[in-house]
Amino acid sequence: MKWALLFLGLVALSECMIRLPLMKTKSLRATLQEKGLLEEFLKKYPYDLASKYSMYAQTFNEPMANIMDIEYVAVITLGTPPQSFKVLLDTGSSNLWVPSIYCSSQACSNHQKFNPSLSSTYRALNTALQVAYGTGSMTGFLAYDTLTISGVADPNQMFGLSETEPGTFLYYSPFDGILGLAYPSISASGATPVFDNMMNQGLVTEDVFAFYLSRDGASGSVVTFGGYETAYYTGQVNWIPVTVQGYWQIAMENVMINGQVVACSQGCGAIVDSGTSLIAGPPSEISNIQQLIGAQLYNNDYYITCGNIPNMPDVTFTLNGIQYTLPASAYVRQMNGYCTSGFQGMNLPSANGGLWILGDVFIREYYAIFDRGNNLVGLASAV
């Protein structure tokens, strides 16, 4: 299915983005010290600043709608009074943007559009923004306003207002915009990502967020900000170091079928990406996997005989010495009586060879925890 691989967040390539130096936010302690007020403040509040502001920090859950196991969409608001938007929560990109009333593209005609004149907390920045994804892009400009997610207000959040959204993909998308949750180093125009702003303002108890993705279009998908929930996984969490702080990139040792290494034989990089629906890898290696699982190419998609699913092999990914196994029931997509492979070939070059994308096919099986404080990805068997 041509819609099976969600492009969003897959290839927000650095050469396709406008990048300026990242905006740094000073801590409250640094600001008070700079103004000569720190000593007086600590005398008045004789406990550390983290404790002083811990009353504002919290852990909170944001529900996501499961759109046919392809996209997971949340509802946020921007502005005062709030204007509501459906957004894709994407760990494979770093910018927040929504359509605006200034957008002239067809894709904006059937989506919610932000109107700055209706918000009393809106502040224009007038910095140009351009974000390119695998099969689409947007252009516009940056501004500040209050973002509210799951009832938690995130003031002075930098976000993009689209003026153009070329092509047809975004026209048919069930979401209005994108909320990126990757590192600030890949944020177009140096915009401060949402989770960085939450951390800077002390809104979360821990610098951690986590994804639970439901299966078969069911309800119950959730992203947790400020920590993670034990109810969504079984067994222990295995922690994997982030190797490159751009995407949530980790090292993968190999990919195996029936105990034999079939891909990534010399080790490779892998990105844990909530904004990608399938598992993507170098085309030659993915082609080998398609053959081994019995998938047949037809009209650019790999089809599988649905009745063969019980007899198909497991596919295992080795990450930081731990094996993460996907049964055929997890990597075969069943829809409208047809079955297709959950693997997709894509060239994503890196310094150490082609990158792999562990998208929603993988995250549905393994609860994914993203730890910015320690630069780790945690994985555990999802319930």
pLDDT tens digits for range 84-132:
999 999 999 999 999 999 999 999 999 999 999 999 999 999 899 999 8
**CATH, domain range 14-221:** 2.40.70.10
Does residue 3 carry a pLDDT above 60? no
SS (H, E, C) 47-93: CCHHHHCCCCCECEEEEEEEECCCEEEEEEEECCCCEEEEEEEECCC
Active site amino acids: 90, 273
pTM recorded for the entire structure: 0.86
Domain ranges of the chain: 14-221, 231-382
Condensed to tens digits (0 to 9), the pLDDT of residues 192-211 reads 999 999 999 999 999 999 99
**What does the pLDDT average to over 33-45?**
54
Backbone angles phi, psi at 126, to 5 degrees: 60, 30
How many residues does this entry show for the chain?
383
Q: 231-382: CATH homologous superfamily?
A: Acid Proteases (2.40.70.10)
Hey, do 14-221 and 231-382 end up sharing a CATH topology, with the first three levels equal? Answer: yes
pLDDT band at 133 (very low <50, low <70, confident <90, very high): confident
